[in-house]
Amino acid sequence: VLIYEMIAGRIPFAGDSVSETFANMINAEPQPLSRFASNVPNELQRIVAKMLRKTKDERYQTMRDLLTDLKNLNEGLSFAEKLERTASPEAENATAIPQATPGDANKETAETQRSFSQKIKNRKWVVALTVFAALIAGAIVFYQNWNLNQPPSVQDLYLQGRFYAVRENRADNDRAIQMLEQAVALDPNHALAHAELARAYGTRYFQFEPHQKQWEEKSHVELEKAFALAPDLPEAHEVRGFLLWMPANRFPHEQAIGAYRRALVLNPNLDEPHQQLGKIYLHIGLLEEALTEFRKSLELNPGNTMARYRIGIVLIHQGKYEEALRSLKSTPPDINPAIVGRDTVWLLISLDRREEAAELLAELIEKNPIDEGGQFASFKALLSALAGNAEQAEREIRDALEKGKGFGHFHHAAYIIACAYAALNKPEEAMRFLQMAAEDGYPCYPLFERDANLDSIRQNPKFQSFLSAQKRQWEYYKSLPQL
């Protein structure tokens, strides 16, 4: 509108009244610039007409596109002007009639004046376009610098927080909480940010600080805020499933599955509910169903690295060790270095590569001396038991138990401790920790049924009774209609 008015001396949709002007803006096309100004370059008329198109997709999509066309036009006019200036007088007179009449002289004078006038007008267009293009370029630079210096928007904070929230390592959890707390402070009505902050708080409680009840309380408060703002928000139902599936709730598998299924009914294109469903199916022994969910998650979002990682874990549970090793090697370890490292150690032990497992375990402990959940201590105990060092294994089991109190994934450590006791030929202790793992969120019948680490207790009547009960429960899970 501005450039049209600069050239034509009037706005493009002017009417005799305000209502007529508005009607013209909606229904009428602007008059051609050539009607109000002479010698307007055709290309400039095209550019202005494109800027005033009523259909958004027909207009310039970015300021850079407009600037490019203006620069091209400006260069074309400048080039034409240079050609005129460099044309020699001899060349102009080469075809002139040697003896001109007075009338011819007057005609030549008029043509010369018109040519000079045209050159002046062209030069004015060059100057005007140069100025206008410079203004556009300056506006772009100003906007870019202004945008870089602005604090991130609420939506940016939410998206960045969500990226870090699903990665399940402490550093990223810290970043997620910081960004999402900023987001809800700036916009208390941002339901998605509240839901994602609930997840971040829940991860802090489940993975890193299980004795700090404040994180559990905060997670539920944020989730309730999300539901109050948007009762049918799919992401809120997804986070509800995540918060349900906790040790404090005794891992209610069916209720958590229901929450994730509800999220997918509301939005079938979400990838994370599939990943979370696969995680639950893995823990209750529905291994093929878990693989299906992880693959659906990756179809929707190839960047869901937790889904990619857990495919490797399913393969371990299925005894497909070489395939599992390839899968784990393709997983970025920084998503959760402790858990990825833990499962790689387990895989190497299963492949009877105990020296490599011990070396990797030493590296992991050096990098993660806290050993959250006693995960590494439990594998140290298993390696010691397999080597026949009972006393060392017992010390490491005690260490694992001390570190694992309240830890969300301690059921995995409990299972490895059961394997260590089986290797030490202590069936009573092995059964105690097997029962603990199954009751604490890890009733994985297919693993119990085939893992060679339990072979020494397979003839034990208590183990056989335990395995029969686990099979019945597994068959019940397979029959659930929501699967």
Assign residue 439 the CATH number of its domain: 1.25.40
What distances in angstroms separate CA 337 from CA 13, 25, 167, 348, one per listed residue? Answer: 63, 60, 10, 16
Region 280-293 average pLDDT: 98
Q: Note the pLDDT of residue 133.
A: 59
- Residue-averaged pLDDT of the chain: 85
Confidence (pTM):
0.70
Q: Is residue 388 part of a domain?
A: yes
Q: Is residue 17 part of a domain?
A: no
Residue 130 binned pLDDT confidence (cut-offs 50, 70, 90): low
The helix/strand/coil state of 352 is: coil
Mark whether 355 and 472 lie in a shared domain. Answer: yes
Range of the domain at 370: 346-483
* Inter-residue contact 40 to 162 (CB < 8 Å): no
Q: Is residue 417 part of a domain?
A: yes
User: Of 266, 293, 314, which closes a domain?
Assistant: 266
Mark whether 419 and 370 lie in a shared domain. Answer: yes
Q: Is the pLDDT of residue 77 over 90?
A: no
Mark whether 194 and 259 lie in a shared domain. Answer: yes
Region 83-101 average pLDDT: 49
Q: Note the pLDDT of residue 392.
A: 98
Mark whether 356 and 480 lie in a shared domain. Answer: yes
Give the CA count within 13 Å in the CB-facing half-sphere of 80: 14
Full DSSP string of 457-470: GTT-HHHHHHHHHH
Mark whether 387 and 439 lie in a shared domain. Answer: yes
Residue 209 binned pLDDT confidence (cut-offs 50, 70, 90): very high
Mark whether 219 and 200 lie in a shared domain. Answer: yes
Mark whether 282 and 314 lie in a shared domain. Answer: yes
Return the minimum-mean-pLDDT range out of 325-329, 350-354, 429-433. 325-329
| For the chain, percent of residues with pLDDT exceeding 70 | 78
* Inter-residue contact 158 to 183 (CB < 8 Å): yes
Mark whether 378 and 473 lie in a shared domain. Answer: yes
Q: Rounded to the nearest 5 degrees, what angle is found at the Cα of 283, between the Cα atoms of 281 and 288? A: 40
Mark whether 194 and 250 lie in a shared domain. Answer: yes
Domain count, the chain: 3
User: Of 316, 335, 354, which closes a domain?
Assistant: 335
Length of the chain: 483
36-45, 109-118, 123-132 — which one is most confidently predicted on average?
36-45
The helix/strand/coil state of 268 is: coil
**Two tokens, residue 169:** 């390592």
Output the domain CATH number for residue 280: 1.25.40.10
Mark whether 205 and 221 lie in a shared domain. Answer: yes
User: Of 286, 303, 335, which closes a domain?
Assistant: 335
Q: Is residue 18 part of a domain?
A: no
Mark whether 247 and 317 lie in a shared domain. Answer: no
Mark whether 371 and 417 lie in a shared domain. Answer: yes
Question: Over the range 117-145, which residues count as b (16 or more CB within 10 Å of their CB) and which as e?
Answer: eeeeebeebbebbeebbeebeeeeeeeee
Region 217-222 average pLDDT: 98
Q: Note the pLDDT of residue 58.
A: 80
Residue 247: other Cβ atoms inside 10 A = 17
What distances in angstroms separate CA 467 from CA 368, 411, 431, 455, 472, one per listed residue? Answer: 35, 17, 11, 13, 9
